Amino acid sequence: MSIVFDLERTNQLSLLPDKDLVDLCPPIEPYQVTKNHKCDFDGLYEQPHDNIHGWVGYDMADNAYTAFDPIFWSYHANIDRVFENWKREHPAATYTSNFPILPFMGSLANRVDFTDNRAYLRTTIGDMAKDSRSIGYDYEPPKIPDSSGTTFNEWSDYLYIIFNDVKCTYDTYSIDVFVNQSNPQPKDAECGNLHFVGKMMRLGMGIKDDKGRCIKDGVTRVLDASYNAYYLTPRITPDSDVEISLIVTDVRTGKILTPEEYNKLPGFKATYMWGKGIPSTKLDVSCSHERCD
């Protein structure tokens, strides 16, 4: 199975990915950027990654147990491949290169040591962020192309749903996002509903973060709602009022959270922003409203 990330548009109606990681941040005007708008690789690569974990469910949806699911290994082999494609497109990208990866030792991670405290001997993120060919392996081209070649219509204005300050949570949640639909119900979260923008998963840690693994500064997650804005009646324009509604569900228990409950969690408050489109020649739309059958 070829899993395809649609990262350029970050339209989460497509739960399944595209390798064309040319620009992970929707173009926006400088005056629209705030100190809370951290649109970067971590936020926009992790979101579709988390979606698959939550979509599979069970152990895959719990960060404390996910590696016990055999699907994890094939899935993350593909995550590595997608990241490798991005690295080769961006050879000048920089990383936190000195961060040690325990318990691996050496620049090729060719041995393991749980007791040696000399951090300078540890394998680092910088070692692993090299072109894979420098550490001894390469990828064959996929038998099925990553991109279907489907192109988006070009809108005059693009509507983005923004979640700022996204940080770790203990539990895993699904977030169904709607525009201009008051009090949506779970049955409304389906592709034929033009008010339904898409589903996001927030992969929970499953354990208390006492190891400093969670980021202190939140990231930004983005949904492209331009299709909805263009085809809804009446059409949503930059002069229109935009109402965003969420259905937040605890994946483990199936409980639907109230706004009062999910607003206490980091990064669950949705805002919107108008911006420019992301130019691209290769895009995948696994579930556009035109192809829902």
- CA–CA dist 275, 285 (Å, integer): 20
Highest mean predicted confidence (pLDDT) among 40-49, 110-119, 173-182: 173-182
Check residue 154 and give its pLDDT: 66
Q: How confident is the model at residue 152 (pLDDT cuts 50, 70, 90)?
A: low
- Domain extent listing, the chain: 1-93+130-293, 98-128
pLDDT band at 156 (very low <50, low <70, confident <90, very high): confident
Beta strands in the chain (DSSP E): 100-105, 111-112, 122-124, 158-166, 173-179, 196-202, 219-224, 244-250, 270-275
pLDDT at 275: 82
Phi, psi of 179 (to 5 degrees): -120, 135
**What fold does the segment set 1-93+130-293 form as a domain?**
Hemocyanin; Chain: A, domain 2 (2.60.310)
Q: What is the pLDDT of residues 193-234, one digit of tens each?
A: 999 999 888 888 877 765 666 767 777 888 889 889 999 999
Residue 132 has pLDDT above 60, yes or no: yes
* 8 Å CB contact between 12 and 223: yes
Q: Is the pLDDT of residue 281 over 50?
A: no
Instruction: Decide which of 65 and 159 is more confident.
Output: 159
Work out the average pLDDT over 95-117: 85
Q: Is the pLDDT of residue 164 over 80?
A: yes
Please tell me the distance from the alpha carbon of residue 66 to that of residue 49, in angstroms, as a whole number.
13
Strand partners, 202: 173
What is the mean pLDDT of the segment spanning 96-106? Answer: 83
Q: Which long-range contacts (CB under 8 A, 24 or more apart) does 185-190 make?
A: 185/247, 186/247, 186/249, 186/256, 189/247
pLDDT per position as a tens digit, 37-87: 445 565 567 777 888 888 888 888 887 788 899 999 999 998 888 888 878
The pLDDT of residue 286 is above 50: no
- Separation CA 107–CA 124 (nearest Å): 7
pLDDT for 287 equals: 31
* Banded model confidence at residue 249, pLDDT cuts 50, 70, 90: very high
pLDDT at 228: 92
Question: 235: which 2 tokens?
Answer: 């059409």
pLDDT at 131: 85
